[in-house]
Structure 1
Amino acid sequence: MKRALIVAPSWIGDTIMAQPLFARLHAKYPGLQLDALAPRWVAPVLHRMAEIGEVIDSPFGHGQLSLKARWRLARQLAEGGYDAVYVLPNSLKSALTPFLAGIPQRIGFIGESRYGLINVRHRLDKAALPLMVERFAQLAEAPGAALPKPIAYPKIRSTAADQQKTLDELDLERPARIVAFCPGAEYGPAKRWPAAHFAALARKLAADGYAIWLFGSAKDHAVAEEISQLAPGLCHNLCGTTSLAQAVDLLALTDLVVCNDSGLMHVAAALDRPLVTLYGSSSPGFTPPLSDQADILSLNLDCSPCFKRECPLGHFDCLNKLSPEQVLAASLKRIAA
């Protein structure tokens, strides 16, 4: 195989967890040209993977069919001369464009009745492959073959030059010591540690000489502003003011990252930053932070994980009762490790 295409997931964290697959494909096929078809909001992390060549824009939103546009994109992909495509999402729509492009080998898990679209078909054994990173890596093997383990942790790159460029672009001075908070979670409130708890943690860490930088999308700006107001003068709210690529570079500078179960959690893990992750309604059983420097905090209440966006019981105890003191103790231990 000389040229292959990845149809990337639509989530940042999922895309990062696919990186070990890309590394395995390069090991299996020396000299491979590996490109990716990805939504523009995911593309920045693919650009930070050494294994990926060109990143082709996938202009479709969640659930958008757009048959004419998919046909035009398929004609573009057909010109790439790809020998194979690895379709990571399990939807029918994600497999349609590679099929229309006539790519000979179309590799993926069976899903959404796409038997005719995928012709190298893997059947998912959830018990054998409990982690998402394992399921992606399985696609490098022949269907039915055992997955070689262990799987390397995902890695993305941020060079000193990248970091300085981002500091200059944002007119930021680099503090001596930095703790990053990622207070958002795209999935919903049941995955977000309370703003008041983040603020209490900020006050304690700032007293120890740490600058506090808050990261997230524009959607997270309001909750980050609430944290800033509860810890006056101690936090720099960067939510919505950085691109994803800039956030990668700034996170690479930090001494510690404290975050909810989110895409930025996986970014921090792939940058090998010391990391404390806070779990409420979700579980680390499928998509944990993949790093030797990550600690997972969860109260493991009887009602969690419920996997709901909002607390069905109305109390959010799984996160409300995870105290700032508990997170501070884990943070200081991780920094000192």
Structure 2
Amino acid sequence: RAELFAGCDWFDEKWLWEPKGRAPVLSDLRLVFRMRACPIDLLVLFPNSLHSALLAFLGGARQRIGYVRDCRGWLLTGKVFPPRKGRKIQPRPMVESYLRLAEAVGCPPESPHLELHCTPEEKRIGEEIFRSVGFSEETPTVGLVYAGAQGPARRPPVEHYIQLAKMVVSQTEWQVLVVAGPDEREIACRICQTVSHSRVKTMVHWPSLGLSVAKACLARCQVVISPDSGPRHIAAALGKPLITLYGPTTPIWGENPTVKSMDLFVDLPCLGCLKPVCPYGHHKCMQELKPERVFEAFCSLIGQGRGVFCDELGVAA
């Protein structure tokens, strides 16, 4: 995922750690040996896992700062306690949690503004993809993200996306770019083939699909519609207006006053279960989030008239 930060100048070095890769133990060992070869004075742990704290300890980091969670407090030299109500940890926006960690090591309070940049090569890839699918530079584009890396419970029904894409192209002048990864390639193609419209295309024909390509495509969209997924947060950091479809997660995790986002969810007793697969088997959190509701939110975001575009979005009025 180091490619995600290409174009950003915040780091002197980037070390890649892949705890969920093909060889996680080997990745752990490489990281530990590398830390020991380059003694670390201070290490801030953004993951809340025992695993990450154990690696920091084994790697010899002298100061290890992180939240006291997952039975790992004994591994931390600088303990930050999450807010609780009784014994239960209270949810709060992730960006706020990360900023509190930065403040714990002496950083001044900062704005929660998110930021990502594209490299010249990524910009070229984005231009080439739009050109290859026949999209006009003069026509605004909505990115329709289909992502399922966190499990099927977060995926909108394919039929809903098909209906939504049809509504957009039949009732507005916008282009629809279906953004997906290699595992969703077939579904992205099915959406486009079923809609069968010159203004509904996908980027999955690009030879190497990764975060860099997704970032390049999202950067060229004026609006992004997405479930609560990695691409959604990439789009937020790129400054894109968002419509976020929440299923087993809740909006509080992604809340950020600097992000223009319309958060849609179904108010169910099981809201916020965080399960990758619906434990009840009905998947109502996504099934009942109808495409008509998403389209109405889209129309509200771009302007009251369907096909009338807000100047704020950087497209034609």
Normalised by the size of structure 1, how large is the TM-score?
0.75
Find the aligned partners of 1:154 and 1:113 in 2 and give their Cα distance. 30
Contact residue 96 and residue 112 of structure 2 kept, 8 A: no
Q: Which residue of 1 aligns with 2:57?
A: 99
The superposition leaves residues 109-130 of structure 1 with CA deviations (integer Å, 9 ceiling, x where unpaired) of: 2234434532112222246772
**Aligned pairs for 1:166-177 within 5 A:** 166-168=126-128, 172=132, 174-175=135-136, 176-177=139-140
For 1:186, the equivalent position in structure 2 comes to 149
Give the alignment of 1:165-314 within 5 angstroms: 165-168=125-128, 172=132, 174-175=135-136, 176-207=139-170, 208-234=172-198, 235-239=200-204, 241=206, 242-288=209-255, 291-314=258-281
Say whether the 8 Å CA contact 1:158–1:248 is kept in structure 2: yes
Indicate if the aligned counterparts of 1:184 and 1:220 stay in contact, CA closer than 8 A. yes
Query: 8 Å contact 2:40–2:60 — kept in the other structure?
Result: no
Alignment equivalent of 1:120, drawn from 78, 97, 113 = 78
- Greater Cα offset, 262-271 or 298-307: 298-307
Counterpart Cα distance in 2 of 1:225 and 1:320:
21
CA contact (8 A) 2:28 2:55 kept: yes
Indicate the SS of the match to 2:5.
Answer: helix
**Match for residue 6 of structure 1?**
none
Q: Which amino acid aligns with 1:92?
A: L
- Match 1:141 to one of 83, 103, 113: 103
**Residue 64 of structure 1, CA deviation:** 7.0
Distance 1:161 1:218 in 2: 20
- Is this contact kept in 2: 1:177–1:254, CA < 8 A? yes
Cα distance change on mapping 1:82 and 1:240 into 2, 3 Å: farther
Task: Describe the superposition over 1:165-216 as per-residue Cα deviations: whole angstroms up to 9, x where unpaired.
Answer: 4433786355232111112232222222221121112112223232221112
Aligned counterparts of 1:311 and 1:123: Cα–Cα separation in 2:
31
* 3-state secondary structure, aligned to 2:252: coil
Q: Which of residues 164, 173, 184 is equivalent to 2:124?
A: 164
Q: Per-residue deviation at 1:85?
A: 0.9
Q: For the residues of structure 2 that align with 1:160 and 1:76, how far apart are their CA atoms?
A: 31
Aligned-pair RMSD on alpha carbons? 3.1
Q: Structure 1 73/186 Cα, relative in aligned 2: closer, same or farther at 3 Å?
A: closer
* CA spacing shift, 1:270–1:126, aligned 2, 3 Å: farther
Tell me the residue number matched to 1:130.
92
Structure 2 unpaired stretches of 5+: 304-309, 311-317
Q: Is 1:333–2:293 an aligned residue pair?
A: no
Counterpart AA for 1:201: L
1:162 positional shift:
3.7
How far 1:138 sits from its partner (Å)? Answer: 1.3
The Cα shift of 1:300 comes to 1.4
**Residues 179, 160 of structure 1: CA spacing in aligned structure 2 closer, same or farther, 3 A cutoff?**
farther
TM-score, normalization by structure 2: 0.79
1:267, distance to aligned residue in structure 2 (A): 0.8
CA distance in 1, matches of 2:287, 2:28: 45
The 1:294–1:72 alpha-carbon spacing in structure 2 relative to 1, beyond 3 Å, is closer
Aligned to 1:323: 290
**What percent of counterpart residues are identical?**
27
Once the two structures are superposed, what CA deviation does each residue of 1:20-47 show, in whole Å capped at 9, x if it has no partner? xxxxxxxxxxxxxxxxxxxxxx222233
| Kept in 1: contact 2:178–2:202 (CA 8 A) | yes
Q: What is the alpha-carbon distance in structure 2 between the residues aligned to residue 51 and residue 113 of structure 1?
A: 31
Q: 1:238 to 1:65 in 2, by over 3 A?
A: closer
Deviations for 1:83-133, whole angstroms, at most 9, x for unmatched residues? 311112222331233333322222112234434532112222246772222
Deviations 1:67-89 (A, max 9, x none): x7645433323444533111122
| Cα separation, partners in 2 of 1:169 and 1:53, compared to 1, 3 Å | farther
Aligned partner of 1:47 in structure 2 is 6
Contact 2:2–2:14 (8 Å) recurs in 1: yes
Q: Say whether the 8 Å CA contact 1:122–1:139 is kept in structure 2.
A: yes
Q: Distance in 2 between matches of 1:231 and 1:70?
A: 45
* Counterpart residue identity of residue 196, structure 2: P
